[in-house]
Structure 1
Amino acid sequence: MDLIVTLMPILLFVLLFWVILIRPQQKRQKQVTEMQNNLQKGDDIITIGGLHASVHALDEGTVVLEVNDGQRLTYDRTSIREKKA
């Protein structure tokens, strides 16, 4: 019984750490992965580096982006941070 009482604060700390930090990060990562998998031609996006472009073509692991002046750049899908509304 004393062992349970002694370990209770440590277990509560681990549970609190998981609920406050780890779980929300997992949810955000899942949403980003879903967004990257659901990209379609013509979507306006922002890359991790801050490049604003639109999707010109899609491949399994890469995305061809078209910037304002008509240039096309190839990026990995994982480098897409968000889709503009």
Structure 2
Amino acid sequence: MNLPTSFLIAQAAPAAGGAAAPNPIMTFLPLIVLFAVFYFLMIRPQMKRQKEHRNMVSALSKGDEVVTNGGIAGRVDEVGESFLTVEIAPNVKIKVQKGAVSQVLPKGTLKTS
């Protein structure tokens, strides 16, 4: 017999005493641990950031100074249900979605001309 054939025969023949089947919980334990690590390193921090952003957006009011995702800075002029009117220069107002606000600046950051 050649070497590959003997390997196939050895794998096909069951052990004489018969090995005990592994515990099903031990089989899935690495998968469960991997999911737990993934949850605590990826999913949970993202959910926390989303909650903080949602709270920040819901607390916006007229006069707040904001920066949008596009980098436009301005002062909130009007707050709607899902849109804001932001004054970016004297008499120049744009309407943006509330979700587009990336941060709220401290009062007095933007100088008025």
The reply on whether 1:14 has 2:30 as its aligned counterpart is: no
For the pair shown, the structure with the greater C-alpha radius of gyration is 2
Give the drift of 1:7.
0.7
- Matched to 1:77, the amino acid is K
Q: Distance in 2 between matches of 1:58 and 1:4?
A: 54
Taking only the aligned residue pairs, the percentage that are identical comes to: 27
- The ranges of structure 1 where at least 4 consecutive aligned residues each deviate by more than 6 angstroms after the TM superposition are none
Give the drift of 1:76.
1.1
Give the drift of 1:81.
1.0
The equivalent residue for 2:73 is: 52
Q: Distance in 2 between matches of 1:70 and 1:42?
A: 15
**Gap runs ≥5 in structure 2:** 1-21, 107-113
Give the drift of 1:68.
2.7
Q: Distance in 2 between matches of 1:68 and 1:75?
A: 15
The equivalent residue for 1:42 is: 63
Structure 1, residues 46-77: CA drift from partner, whole Å, max 9, x if none?
A: 10111011101111111000013430001111
The equivalent residue for 2:14 is: none
**Gap runs ≥5 in structure 1:** none
Q: Which has the higher contact order (CA 8 A, sep 6+)?
A: 1
TM-score by length of 2: 0.71
Partner of 2:44: helix, strand, or coil?
A: helix
TM-score by length of 1: 0.94
